[in-house]
Amino acid sequence: MDTLLTSEFIRRVPKTDLHLHLDGSLRLSTIIELAKSGNVKLPSYTEAGMNDLVFKEQYNDLGEYLQGFAYTCAVLQNAENLERVAFELAQDCIAEGVRYIEVRFAPQLLVSKNLSIKESVQAVAAGLHKAELAHNASSAVASGDDLEFGFGIILCAMRRFNKYMGTYYSHLLAILEETPEKEIFSVASLEMARVAVALRDNYGLPIVGFDLAGEEAGFPASYHRDAYQYVHSHFMAKTVHAGEAYGPESIFQAITECYANRIGHGTFLFSEEAIRDNTIKDRAGYVNQLVEYVASQRITMEVCLTSNQQTIPSLKSLSTHPISKMLERNLAVSICTDNRLVSHTSVTNEYEIAIKELAITPRQFRNIVIAGFKGSFYGSYNHKRDCVRKVIAQYDKLAKEFGVNV
């Protein structure tokens, strides 16, 4: 690690987390407490046991990585628990200098007899707002020594689902039992898109974007074209999990068919060998044009280093992570956590890894930090510009204090 980019400096500079899954970022102690009080069966009721059996340091693949979400979602099926977990997540982010987060989750996964989609979003917003109010009323913010904290909510549709993934999905599959599977996936995502817009426009909830998550290979974003057309037509920002477990054409599809403003992960952006479309003859040319388009349109890449290494078997060392190529090609890059619990990480930790393993320079570090705020779906454009100016001023002030060359 560059001796000037110390852990304390990294922790204190204002940061963002734009790719942050609520149901993957609970405190482990909270899961255990809520499971006990809600009679939710866990493999273990100790933190050591859960880390050994579920939330591991290394996973064999994405499927194993996702198994833990069955337990986190099980304790999030009432409003009280959701509000608490959202509040704690914001607290944890604030404590390490993160000053803007976009929390994403799939409300359809959490629907139960005790919880509707609207109630789940209201609860998450309430928890985040509670933490926001507490921080923004602090003396440090009042004196100008610290920046305000802000947040947005991104609602996720799922690329695929089955009847075991929740009440909403089991009911939908039963009702549409003669409908082709891909059409059912399309119905669910379009409904989620309509709800996202309605909750933002009719109820004033802080929904800033729409996402598509879940198993990528075999379940293309094109299934969800109608949902993305709907949110696009209603001026909602869009991100798509793409290029995490599939090749460059998945990213191409996210941009051309889903109008993506940002790409979640994008790990296989440069991977010519991962292209599976046999009609693409000039693979190098295809990748180059795609990269140039992403760069020129400032489509932000939401990079999650630890998560990628845990879920992509071919990524044996972070030294080979494509973030280095992304920076060489001047892409807009934001470093994110993905899942703070499942990946045992934080934003500060992700930056420390990038600096140590990938030799991120002080100049690159500053650019990535600022890119997080510029690439956010934060409020009005003028408000975001004002926020970015404040972030740059605060960063440069801290850099001078710590002797970091800007």
Asked if 42 and 26 touch (Cβ cutoff 8 Å), the reply is no
Enumerate the active-site residues.
244
Cα–Cα distance between 379 and 124 in angstroms, integer? Answer: 18
Asked if 144 and 134 touch (Cβ cutoff 8 Å), the reply is no
Cα–Cα distance between 17 and 334 in angstroms, integer? Answer: 8
Quick one: average pLDDT of 251-269?
97
Cα–Cα distance between 57 and 86 in angstroms, integer? Answer: 24
Indicate the average pLDDT of the chain. Answer: 95
Cα–Cα distance between 304 and 325 in angstroms, integer? Answer: 15
pLDDT of residue 181: 93
pLDDT of residue 1: 46
Q: Tokens 């059409």 — which residue?
A: 183
Element (H, E) at 91: helix 79-95
pLDDT of residue 57: 85
Long-range Cβ contact pairs of 357-365 (< 8 A, separation 24 or more): 357/305, 357/317, 357/318, 357/319, 357/321, 358/318, 358/319, 358/321, 358/323, 358/324, 360/327, 361/2, 362/2, 362/4, 362/5, 362/399, 362/404, 362/405, 362/406, 363/405, 363/406, 364/327, 365/5, 365/10
Cα–Cα distance between 163 and 177 in angstroms, integer? Answer: 11
pLDDT of residue 3: 57
Give me 148's structure tokens: 């305000």
Residue 132: left (phi > 0), alpha (psi -120 to 50), or beta?
alpha
Residue 379: left (phi > 0), alpha (psi -120 to 50), or beta?
left
Dihedrals phi, psi of 400, to nearest 5 degrees:
-65, -40
Residue in 359, 264, 182, 268 with CA at minimum distance from that of residue 254:
264
Element (H, E) at 313: none
DSSP strand pairing (300-303 vs 262-265):
parallel
Assign 17 a pLDDT band (cuts: 50, 70, 90): very high
Let me know the angle formed at the C-alpha of 193 by 188 and 197, rounded to the nearest 5 degrees.
150
113-167 pLDDT tens trace: 999 999 999 999 999 999 999 999 999 999 999 999 999 999 999 999 999 999 9
Cα–Cα distance between 242 and 228 in angstroms, integer? Answer: 14
Region of poorest pLDDT, from 7-11, 70-74, 216-220: 216-220
Dihedrals phi, psi of 13, to nearest 5 degrees:
-70, 145
Distance of CA 383 to the CA centre of its chain: 22
Residue in 23, 113, 108 with CA at minimum distance from that of residue 70:
23
275-318 pLDDT tens trace: 998 999 999 999 999 999 999 999 999 999 999 999 888 888 89
DSSP strand pairing (237-242 vs 262-265):
parallel
Q: Return the amino acid letter for 27.
A: R
Task: Kindly list the structural domains of the chain, giving each domain's residue range(s) and its CATH number in brackets, ordered by start.
Answer: 7-32+76-402 (3.20.20.140)
Cα–Cα distance between 71 and 89 in angstroms, integer? Answer: 17
Helices 181-203 + 167-175 axis angle, to 10: 130
In the chain, the percentage of residues whose pLDDT exceeds 70 is: 99
Give me 62's structure tokens: 């994405």
40-79 pLDDT tens trace: 999 999 999 999 999 998 888 777 888 899 999 999 999 9
Give me 406's structure tokens: 């800007």
The residue count of the chain comes to: 406
Cα–Cα distance between 104 and 338 in angstroms, integer? Answer: 10
* DSSP reduced 3-state for 15: strand
Q: What is the largest CA-CA distance in the chain?
A: 66
